[in-house]
Amino acid sequence: MKYVLALDQGTTSSRAILFNRRGAPCGKAQYSVHQIYPKPGWVEHDPMDILETQLHCIRDLLDTCEAKDIAAIGITNQRETTILWEKSTGRPVHNAIVWQCRRTSRRCDKLIEQGWGERISEKTGLVIDAYFSATKIAWILENVPGLKERARKGEILFGTVDTWLLWNLTGGAVHATDYSNASRTMLFNIDTLTWDEELLQLFDIPACMLPTPVSGCGVLGHVAKGIPGLGALAGTPISGMAGDQAAALFGQCCVKEGQAKNTYGTGCFTLMNVGSNRVRSSRGLVTSVAWALDGKVTYALEGSAFNAGAAIQWLRDELGLISTARECDVLAESVEDTGGVYFVPAFTGLGAPYWDMYARGVLCGLTRGSTKAHIARATLEAIAYQVTDLVEAMRLDAGKITELRVDGGASVSDVMMQFQSDMLGMEVNRPAMTETTAIGAAYLAGLAVGFWRDLAEIEQIRETQTVFTPKMDSARRFTLYRGWQEAVDKARDS
């Protein structure tokens, strides 16, 4: 067989990519996912839109290749996004509540006030935040009339997006999630690899509605017969599954303890492989299961910044300062620095290491001489500053990181990657093939069916495109970073 098919379901689009044995993409399809904003701070998706756009991608690729040439399918997905549906019909009972949504912030505040922070961190590796799935599930159960009783009767299923896709692709035969996605629900004990009964009781969530947690490298199910346009794929194994950031860590071949990557997507997500022993962060980072291979669990230390590429989209769509993402780079390169302008894109609060749900965006340091070029550069630098916050916290929690591997849409920006290297004072390594999230899912699926032999083979596949090295002196770095921290303080006071 020639290919592994990776399904990459993200916050703003659904994609599918075919990879050959050399890890090269041989076909790609992509469709946008409609964003729904019912109230300020609320973010939703239509689960059927997620499903149909993903199926449309698969159908497009089947027009370019023979289904018999596809060895396996891997799934990677936006994490934490919460979907509830009827077991008997597959009909969603509410729009998906997206990871960015802040509607349950007050509930999280109450849990913190009640002293649950340490207990939840001990069990799940997470901090209490509306970001994660638990309070989203509880909100839907409490706000759709009669739903909680139906859930207790076993009529309602929950899943993150991986589970939703797997359930539909297998015709409802498999209701499962992999450990990396389960780790992001705030209901999963990352030591025992099971749903935690105490937390289910705390959030009043019936255990019968939860998917089975499994390793994301292994045959999870097979494509069902009767899915419109996918008949030729029936019987194809679905053998890889991981949340997008765990998949990107694997796709970057950060398979050794101490290796780290950052994905510049809608948000920024920095993960460090910490090996088989979980690390308890004292600096606002979280710990998740990255993957399990051959019975051995690998943990990751993670920090998230909620708004990265979303900040560039804001310049384009809401302010109209740019017409394309590339234009942001062109403007930023036209000035030597920001002229003292700082931008903190805290549209939906601040993630690690601050975890401030109520921080709001700040644009400061403006003078009469400030131009849109300075604002564009401040936006790119803001993304790099947020990653610097995360890496510095990781260094203190888990030890030395000698190199940051980067991927995601915004990583194509040379000016931002150079600034990132300058602020971190270390090399930033960008691969030749930046589809690392998708190929991470492909690697997991391919390893499970023997398409690739072992980790050593996939490590040989990764090729570096560019290595950015620090060019800024330490005094300048210190001054700029202190200015960023002062701007963050303003965002938290707003």
pLDDT of residue 372: 95
pLDDT of residue 38: 94
Average of per-residue pLDDT across 251-264 = 91
Q: Which tens digits make up the pLDDT trace of 359-368? A: 999 999 999 9
Reduced 3-state DSSP string for the chain: CCEEEEEEECCCEEEEEEECCCCCEEEEEEEECCCECCCCCCCEECHHHHHHHHHHHHHHHHCCCCHHHEEEEEEEECCCCEEEEECCCCCECCCEECCCCCCCHHHHHHHHHCCCHHHHHHHHCCCCCCCCHHHHHHHHHHHCCCHHHHHHCCCEEEECHHHHHHHHHCCCCCCEEEHHHHCCCCCEECCCCEECHHHHHHHCCCHHHCCEEECCEEEEEECCCCCCCCHHHCCCEEEEEEEHHHHHHHHCCCCCCCCEEEEECCCEEEEEEEECCCCCCCCCCEEEEEEEECCEEEEEEEEEECCCHHHHHHHHHHHCCCCCHHHHHHHHHCCCCCCCCEEECCECEECCCCCECCCCCEEECCCCCCCHHHHHHHHHHHHHHHHHHHHHHHHHHHCCCCEEEEECHHHHCHHHHHHHHHHHCCEEEEECCCCHHHHHHHHHHHHHHCCCCCHHHHHHHCCEEEEECCCCCHHHHHHHHHHHHHHHHHHHHC
pLDDT of residue 358: 86
Backbone angles phi and psi of 61, in degrees to 5: -70, -30
From the list 403, 453, 445, 449, the residue with the least C-alpha distance to 426 is 403
Please count the other Cβ atoms lying within 10 Å of the Cβ belonging to residue 61. 19
Mean pLDDT of the chain: 94
Q: Which tens digits make up the pLDDT trace of 259-286? A: 999 988 888 889 999 999 888 888 889 9
Res 187 pLDDT > 90: yes
pLDDT of residue 41: 86
Whether the model clears a pTM of 0.95, i.e. scores above it, the answer is no
Whether omega for the bond prior to residue 228 falls within 30 degrees of 0, making it cis, is: no
**CB burial of residue 493 (10 Å; 0-12, 13-18, 19+):** exposed
From the list 275, 345, 333, the residue with the least C-alpha distance to 308 is 345
pLDDT of residue 266: 81
User: 120 with 132: CB under 8 angstroms?
Assistant: no
Q: Which tens digits make up the pLDDT trace of 12-25? A: 899 999 999 999 99
User: 99 with 306: CB under 8 angstroms?
Assistant: no
pLDDT of residue 6: 97
Res 156 pLDDT > 80: yes
Q: Which tens digits make up the pLDDT trace of 60-95? A: 999 999 999 999 999 999 999 999 999 999 999 999
Res 2 pLDDT > 90: yes
Q: Which tens digits make up the pLDDT trace of 370-425? A: 999 999 999 999 999 999 999 999 999 888 887 899 988 888 899 999 999 999 99
pLDDT of residue 351: 84
**CB burial of residue 294 (10 Å; 0-12, 13-18, 19+):** exposed
Res 202 pLDDT > 80: yes
pLDDT of residue 399: 80
pLDDT of residue 357: 76
Q: Residue 465 — pLDDT band, cuts 50, 70, 90?
A: confident
Domain at 3-245, CATH from 3.20.20.70, 3.40.50.720, 3.30.420.40, 3.40.50.1820: 3.30.420.40
Query: 235 is written with which tokens?
Result: 């019987």
pLDDT of residue 161: 97
